[in-house]
Each structure stands twice: as C-alpha cells, then as structure tokens.
Structure 1
C-alpha cells in the first residue's frame, strides 16, 4: 500500500502546474544570483603560491593551463589522511564528465589538496579519475582561502570558515558522529580530519595577472554535488537519516541489484 498521498491524474496536473511556476521562479532567481556572483569585484592575487602537479612544480597561473578562467575544488585530503573525504569523493565523481566541456569553454577545472602529490595520485588511480589534481603541500594556499586550519585555531575557536569566525560544528568536542565516521574512513582522527574543509574558489587570468573572483563553502557546494540534484527530483527526495553515501568502490554491488 502506498504510504504517500495518492490522487487522480487531474489533481496531479493541477499541483504540477503550481509547482512549475515555483520552479520557473527559482530558475529566474538562480540566474539573478549567478549575475551577482559575476559582478563581484576581482581581487588581485599577489602571493606566489606553488603547487605540485603531474607536470611538475607550478604556479597558480600555470594551473590555468592556457585558459583565462580557473575553477578550483578544495578537496578534503589533508597530509595525514590515508584516503580522500567520502563527501568530496562523491562530488568529484562527476568531474571527469564535464571537465572537457569546461576546457572547451575557456575554463580549467582542477582539484587542490594539501596531501602530497604521490598520495593524491594513488587515490586518483583507485577512484579511476583523470581530472587535474594539484598538491598545495607546503603552501599557504589552502589556509589563505579558508579551507585549512591549524591545531591552534581549532583549540582557540578562531577558525574562519564559510565567512564565519568561531567554533564550527566540525570543531565540537566530542566530535559529531558523522565527523568521527568520515575521519575513520580517511584513516585519521576527528580533529585532524576537521583541519581541512571543502570549498570552491574561482580565478581569472587577465594581462598576466591572476584575480580571485569567488569562493563558496559548505552547502554552497550543493549545486555541484550531482547526486543531490538527482535525489531532489526522486520520489522520496534526499530521504536521509544520517550518513549513507560511501566512496563509489565501497558499495556492495548496489548497481547490480535486480
């Protein structure tokens, strides 16, 4: 027996048309917010950041790979992790599909993490990914863009993440159960795991100068988390009671079920 309200096709259509108007308004509002993002002032990046890539040592300008726009996904993979964050991994599962389209629209997409390049490459091979992934180990890049923090900042409650300064949920003691679960899956403890956070930053290269244009964090990443866009349109929505997702090679043949 169905546990949800049921009705006639006519009743469904009437409500669907109301929903359509709401969806159109959301689309128009989303377009306006995109224009607001693009109208933010550009901030010149003067610090000489260095990264390790498969092609060798690189500057921030080198990461553009000959294009004028750069999108960086701040992937949670700290130096002491043994595997990448499961949430970041599920987001990154979609990168290979559209990185080629972005590249052909003058946009380079790369992930950046603090773990050493060799560790990133091993995990990248495990996941079967091919998108660019640079290591910022030894650089201030992650700290300057508010996705990595020191032990002292955690203890003092001065972490500045998602444009808020203070003690965040991930810094609570004892740590929330999902943080402990993810930390364990990454081969580390909760405080160490929480010293890296997810985010996205975008940059533009004009007349040889790199400018920072936008950054977003936490639920600001929902729009690029592909599985949630599908679940929001599925009959039962996100239907979450806790952490349910895993790295794609850790499910037990879910896609093979009859």
Structure 2
C-alpha cells in the first residue's frame, strides 16, 4: 500500500523548485571540491614499482600508455580470492564505456590488484571487460597506497585505511576478524567475503580505493587518493538509484556480479 505523500502538480512544482536550489548548491560545492583536489601538492614517486600486464612486466610509468594522467582503481582481488569482490565488480562494470572517452582526453583508466595476473585475466574474460588491469603481486604498491595489509597488521592494529588507524582485529574462534564494513554501517562483510570464496579476515586484507597520478618529463607524481565512501560517486548504479522513487532501498547486499543474477 502506498503511504508516500501525494499532492497536486502545483504542490510538486513548489517542492521541486525548493529542492532545485539545494541541488544547485551541491553542484557548486562539488565544483569547489574538484578544484581543491586539483590543487593538492603532487608527491614525486621515485620508487620503482613493477606490474604484470597484458604487455608483460611494466613500470608505473608504462601504465600511463603514453598519456600524462593515470586513474588507478584499487580493485579488491587478493591473492587468496577465488573471484573478484562483487562490489568492486559492480563499479568496474562502468569502466569499459568511459575508458575510451578518457583515453581521448589524455587520461588512462586502469585497475590494479594484488592477485596474480593469471587470476585477473581469467576473471576479466569472464566479466567481458577490456579496460587495463595490472597485477601488483610481489611488490609494495598496494601496501604503500594503503589498500592491502597483512594478517599481522590486522592482529596488531597496523592498518591505516581511509586516513585513520584501525583497532586491532578481534579474535573469533581463533581467527582474526577485522571490524570493517565496506560502506559505512551497511552490508554484511561476511556475505561479501563468501562471494569471493574467502573468510572475513582474508577478504578485508584488501580494500577498495582510487589513486591518481601524473607523468611529465619521465617523472611520476601521486596527486590524489580516496577510499571507502569516497568512492560512492564511481558506482554508476547508485547515481541512478539516488534519483529513483525509492532511492537505494537497501537491506543488506542485494547486488551480484552481472553474470550471477539469473542464478539468484
């Protein structure tokens, strides 16, 4: 039964015009924040990071593919995962259509994960994706950008994610359980972990994020990173749901990998 407020066209228009002013304020504020992101000081990267890709073993500078800007999505796919994180997969479903436009605007969009490249390549074929996806396995890249951690860091409280230090993981039945939730207070992490074929501790040793870089005269600089709810705008489906009559209307994890809905 519908319990939502109803009204006349005139009442709707008055409310809509009031909302429009708030939306315009949000747009202006978003524009201001974009300028502040671009004004952040750049940090030179002298460390020699290496990645496995379709083109073989390459450097961070090679990931730019001849362009001056690089957007890296830190895709949650740990070495022990059986499949990529379903949340990251939902975000990555939007990469293919925009990557070609970004490439023609001097920007390369790529994903980086800590799993071996063979695992990433298999999953990429399954999902039908074509955007660049590199493995940082065996290197320091994921750790240095605070999106991959060790079990020791979990146990001892050595995890710094989203610019804050987390408390040590609690122990449950002898297994470390990290008190971390993917989207603020929402979402049973155990369900997401099971969807990757892991337990909570293993699943949360990798985290989602985005890092951006610039390349000029052979020198790479780190320009920006964001994590957790800072990635909300990258979920294309949520931008649409926020404009749908019932909004996000969520009760737990409702999404699946795009090839799993028929099985649900």
* TM-score exceeds 0.5: yes
Gaps of at least 5 residues in structure 2 are 170-176, 181-185
| 1:93 equivalent in alignment to 2:100 | no
The alignment status of 1:133 with 2:112, answered yes or no, reads: no
TM-score w.r.t. length of structure 1:
0.94
Per-residue deviation, residues 154-196 of structure 1 (Å, max 9, x unmatched): 00112000000123897129xx972111111111111111100
RMSD (CA atoms): 1.7
Kindly provide the CA deviation profile for residues 111-165 of structure 1, in whole angstroms up to 9, marking residues without a partner as x.
0001111100110111111100000000100000000001111001120000001
Work out whether 1:193 is the aligned partner of 2:203: yes
Partner residue of 1:211 out of 212, 216, 221: 221
Which residue in the other structure is 2:193 paired with?
183
SS of the equivalent of 1:211 reads strand
Q: 2:241 aligns with which of 231, 234, 238?
A: 231
| Structure 2 Cα separation of the partners of residues 96 and 167 of structure 1 | 37
Q: Give SS of 2:98's match.
A: helix
Distance between the aligned counterparts of 1:168 and 1:106, measured in 2? Answer: 42
* Residue in structure 2 matched with residue 3 of structure 1 by the alignment: 3
Which of 157, 168, 178 in structure 2 is aligned with 1:171? Answer: 178
SS of 2:115's partner is coil
Which residue number in structure 2 is paired with residue 145 of structure 1? 145
Give the direction of change, closer, same or farther, for the CA distance of 1:25–1:231 in structure 2 (3 Å limit): same
Aligned pairs (5 A) from 1:69-84: 69-84=69-84
- TM-score norm. by structure 2 comes to 0.92
In the alignment, is the contact (CA less than 8 A) between 2:187 and 2:252 conserved in 1?
no
Does the CA contact (< 8 Å) of 2:155 and 2:168 recur in 1?
no
With over 3 angstroms needed to count, the CA separation of the structure-2 counterparts of 1:251 and 1:41, relative to structure 1, is: same
Structure 1: which 5+ residue stretches go unaligned? Answer: none
